[in-house]
Every structure is written in C-alpha cells, then in structure tokens.
Amino acid sequence: MEIARDMARKGCPHFSIIIADRQRQGRGRLKRRWLSDSGGLYFTVVLRPLIPPVFSPRINLCASLTLARVLESAFGVPAAVKWPNDVLVGDKKISGMLSEMEAEADRVTYINVGVGINVNNDPSARELGAVSLKKILDRRVSRKNLLARFLDAFENSLAEPGFEDVIAEWKRYTVTLKRHVKIVTLHEELEGEAVDVDENGSLILRLSDGSLKTVLYGDCFHL
C-alpha cells in the first residue's frame, strides 16, 4: 500500500498493480494486523476512476463482489460478501480489502485497493475466523491464475456501463443485511439491524430505538 501510494502520487497509470509474496507489516481496517505469510496473495491496484469522491465506496463493493464471483465460478467455492469489503466462505474470512483515496474537489485523484487473499497459506491457527482456498479445496491453487482471473473480471466490471448497478448486485451476494451487527469506527461503536446499503455504499442501521443511522465506514461484526 505504501509503494502504491508513492507510485500513484508520482502519476503511475490507471490499473497499475503492486504484488508482494509476503508482508511483514500487513494491516487491515482500523490499523488491525493482517497476517501475510508466504502462500497468500497480496496486491494493490491503483485506480483512477472518473467518478466523484462520494461514489468511491462503490469501488470497494465492486472489488469484493468480483472476488466472490471469481471464487464461485473458477473454484466452485460458495463465497459471500460482508460489508464493507470482506469475502467469506461460510462464516470464515478468506479475503480482506483496504482502500485509500486522494481527491481534489469533486474529482478522485486515485483510489488504491489493497487485497489480501488466503490461498495456499493457513492463517487458521492464529486467526480462528479465517480460512484459505487450500484448506477448502484440499489442494494448492495457482496464485498467478487466481490473480489473472480477478484482475480481468475487475477491470471488465469497472468498464461496464452497468457499474452503477454494482450495489444491487452486491446485495445479492451479501450475508450482512437483515442481521444484527456491531459497527466499530475510530470514534464510536454501534449495534443494530443492518437493513440496507445506500447508493453511496454506506450501511444503514436500525438502532434499538427504531431510528436509522447511516454508517459510511467502519469494521462490521456479525452478532
């Protein structure tokens, strides 16, 4: 992510890719550690989409939706998406994503989407809620093939005229809506029923008093 940020600020092309075999300082949302041992797939995509900043969360939803579809179509793995941008198999996390954005006024300068996928590594000993493709399929998987499939599908999805429909499609794959969740941000913790995702990718919670709360960003825990 740090290399990608530097490259983006220096003007690298749209859809530049930075890949790591492993990471010593992998991180997730809210500065949580992301285990990044050899065997996993860790990469960042530098994007320069022609969208206003308010629509930037759609990029995250599109990335997680794309990966879930690839896991399903290429490997027969019934993957689902969890708000804001995790990919699950059953109740286990197989992928996490982290994005960074810079913008000027009403124009996005760049969005960097960092992706970590548990492929041939096995994080389950230290992360009970994690799983890998190797564990699910009982065989090793070509990381190069998985990366190529994802990048092809992601690039096509971003280029489609129907990109504005990504949220409706994401809802078909999500396991977050219609359940009780806890949202943790840098400033507060909230609990409620996840009732919807709006056009900007924000999660709408129904709190215990019946009021609705729109959450743009945070860590989501299914309860």
Q: Is the pLDDT of residue 31 over 80?
A: no
Q: How many CB atoms lie within 10 A of CB 8?
A: 23
- Contact indicator for 213, 182 with CB cutoff of 8 Å: no
pLDDT tens sequence across 45-96: 999 998 888 888 899 999 999 999 999 999 999 999 999 999 999 999 999 9
> What per-residue confidence (pLDDT) applies to 163?
66
Rounded to the nearest 10 degrees, what angle do helices 143-159 and 57-75 cross at? 130
Binning pLDDT at 50, 70 and 90, where does residue 6 land?
very high
CA 35 to chain centre: 16
For the stretch 7-27, pLDDT in tens is 999 999 999 999 998 877 666
Q: Please, how many CA atoms are within 13 Å of residue 46, restricted to the half-sphere of its CB?
A: 21
The fold of the 2-173 domain, in CATH, is BirA Bifunctional Protein; domain 2 (3.30.930)
| Domain ranges, ordered by start, for the chain | 2-173, 180-222
Share of the chain above pLDDT 90, in %: 74
- Contact between 95 and 64 (Cβ < 8 Å): yes
Q: Average pLDDT of the chain?
A: 91
**CATH architecture designation of domain 180-222:** Roll (2.30)
pLDDT grade for 114, boundaries at 50, 70 and 90: very high
- Judge contact between 175 and 88, C-beta under 8 A: yes
Dihedral (CA of 186, 158, 18, 118) sign: positive
Q: Which residues neighbour 75 within 8 Å (Cβ) at sequence distance 6 or greater?
A: 133, 137, 141
Of these ranges, 29-43, 68-82, 186-200, the one predicted with the greatest mean pLDDT is: 68-82
pLDDT the model gives residue 32: 65
> What span, in angstroms and rounded, lies between the C-alpha atoms of 104 and 6?
17
Whole-angstrom distance, CA of residue 94 vs CA of residue 106: 34
pLDDT at 100 over 80: yes
